[in-house]
Amino acid sequence: MLIDTHAHLNDERYSNEIDQIISDFKNYDLSKVICVGYDRLSSEKAVNLSKQYDEIYAAVGIHPHDAKNATKDDYLYFSKIAHEETVVGYGEIGLDFYYNFSDRAQQEKAFIEQLQVAYDCKLPVILHVRDAFQRSYEILKANRDLLKYSGVMHCYSGSAEMVSLYADLGLYISFSGVITFKNSNKQAVVEATPIDRLLVETDSPYLAPQPFRGKQNYPQYVKYVVEQMQKWLPQIDVKKVTTNNAYRLFSKLSI
């Protein structure tokens, strides 16, 4: 069965339909969803959801947009909550030089600090990178010792050429509904990704795949990401490969 490795069911847009969403998983061959935090409040909500529903797991952390607000108290909270059985990853963290809602120095500081927290918590990192692929690579390479528990380039939008650099750091590469867009030009990037590093996600409620583009996204729609990927990688069973990869990376997921 499928695993959506990155969704935001902690988003308020789902607050009145969460039970229905989860009951619908079985109709899409979906077994598990990792609900990802992006600040302290959303991380708390992700953990609470993971305790309420067997199908949901959590990741905690502070998004680069909110790097300016990151505090040591937040990190202490994450360090404590990371020991919960349902917390399987640390993130999403990283660099976003497209919006620059936090300045670049603040982003880089919070990024490195959270790599250390994730390492101390023995959790893989979930990395948000936009318009900052070279700089993020430089930081990750310089802090390679903090990647012992690996991580994933979430919703990867970088080049095919950089895939090998991130993979050499031991990272996984995850693709979302963007690869289903007619103008995405992502086939070469998917094909460049080592088979044992491929993951799939929805990034719900964002980036709904065809045929739902422009509408609210749902974890169930990860099947459309898999179907598109299967067209480009006919030599493998994409569902089986990406599910096995998810279990390998997020080792606290129950089988």
Whether omega for the bond prior to residue 209 falls within 30 degrees of 0, making it cis, is no
Residue 118, classed as helix, strand or coil, is helix
Q: Going along 21-140, which residue ranges are E strands?
A: 30-36, 56-60, 87-96, 125-130
Give the global pTM.
Answer: 0.97
Both tokens of residue 185?
């030009």
What local confidence, expressed as pLDDT, does residue 138 receive? 98
Please compute, for residue 170, the number of CA atoms within 13 A of its CA located in the half-sphere on the CB side: 15
> How many whole angstroms separate alpha carbon 237 and alpha carbon 251?
21
Domain 2-249 classification at class level: alpha beta
Q: Going along the chain, which residue ranges are E strands?
A: 2-7, 30-36, 56-60, 87-96, 125-130, 151-153, 171-175, 198-200
Identify the sign of the CA torsion 116, 142, 197, 24: positive
What local confidence, expressed as pLDDT, does residue 254 receive? 85
Residues near 41 by beta carbon (within 8 Å), at least 6 away in sequence: none
Average pLDDT across each block of 10 residues of the chain; the chain has 255 residues. List them in order: 98 96 96 98 98 98 97 97 97 97 97 98 98 98 98 97 98 98 94 98 98 96 98 98 98 90
What local confidence, expressed as pLDDT, does residue 195 receive? 98
Residue 30, classed as helix, strand or coil, is strand
